[in-house]
Amino acid sequence: MGKIKAAIFDMDGVLTDTVKLHFRAWKKMFESHGYKFEYEDYKLKVDGKPRLDGIRSIACDVPEDKLIEMAEEKQKIFLEFVEQENLEAFEDSIWLLNHLKQNNIKLAVASSSKNTTKILTKIGIYNMFDTVVTGYDFKKGKPDPEIFLTAAKKLNVNPKDCVVFEDAIDGIKAGICAGMLTIGVCRDGQFDRLKEAHYVVDRLDKISLELLENLNEKLFKKVWEVLDNETFRKKLAD
């Protein structure tokens, strides 16, 4: 009980600082269409979602063809920013990836972004992962658990033996729905934003495999307590 066999990472904001680029691209696109868009809107309504779902959360009054046009516009702006910026992986993320790899933990990236492969390659860490799940590989966006269940299936690991690292609330909810241990990554220190996660940090070098396995053991003790209570209540009702 408690053993961790795989770690699944969101990309934007967890492995590399693409958050500022995404926000700038979203802001430029939305404001060109007359919508006010601030950082709080990005974190609460757009971050971690498939592109069309993100647009619907702000531009809820436009037809589907217009949504697609806006999505293509945002993608073009974002890729221009990617080419202009010197993107790098976070040092603390590299540390944790190496730590887990040295302990024979399988590694995956699971991101709603369709730019995932391009960015992981640009920052030089694509080959560190056993599998990469992108926006092309699933149908239902976060908070649906499909993205993380897809990653677990590709890794051939039971979801209960996986840990998810996420910086968006919908990603945390998806990880919980998948039956996985969830670690919230709040690099801005606003821990309350991800308080639904099982554990929250501002840096990934504060994580160790021992900590993860202790957290996972506690999590599944709670799950069994709930199941036992439900069984007991059913017996009383019979």
Residues in binding site: 10-12, 26, 46-51, 74, 111-115, 142, 166-167
What dihedral do alpha carbons 197, 200, 205, 208 form, nearest 10°? Answer: -60
Q: At what angle do helices 169-177 and 146-155 cross, to 10 degrees?
A: 60
Kind and range of the H or E run holding 131: strand 131-133
**What's the CA gap between 27 and 29, in Å, rounded?**
5
Residues whose CB is less than 8 angstroms from the CB of residue 226 and which lie 6 or more positions away in sequence, other chains included: none
Active-site annotation holder among 10, 41, 53, 161: 10
Q: At what angle do helices 64-84 and 51-58 cross, to 10 degrees?
A: 110
Q: How far are the Cα atoms of 125, 147, 191 from residue 140, in angstroms, in the given order? A: 26, 8, 27
Provide the annotated binding site for Mg(2+): 10, 12, 166-167
Active-site annotation holder among 12, 53, 161, 170: 12
12 is annotated as an active-site residue: yes
10 is annotated as an active-site residue: yes
Residues whose CB is less than 8 angstroms from the CB of residue 30 and which lie 6 or more positions away in sequence, other chains included: 36, 37, 58, 59
Indicate which residues carry an active-site annotation: 10, 12
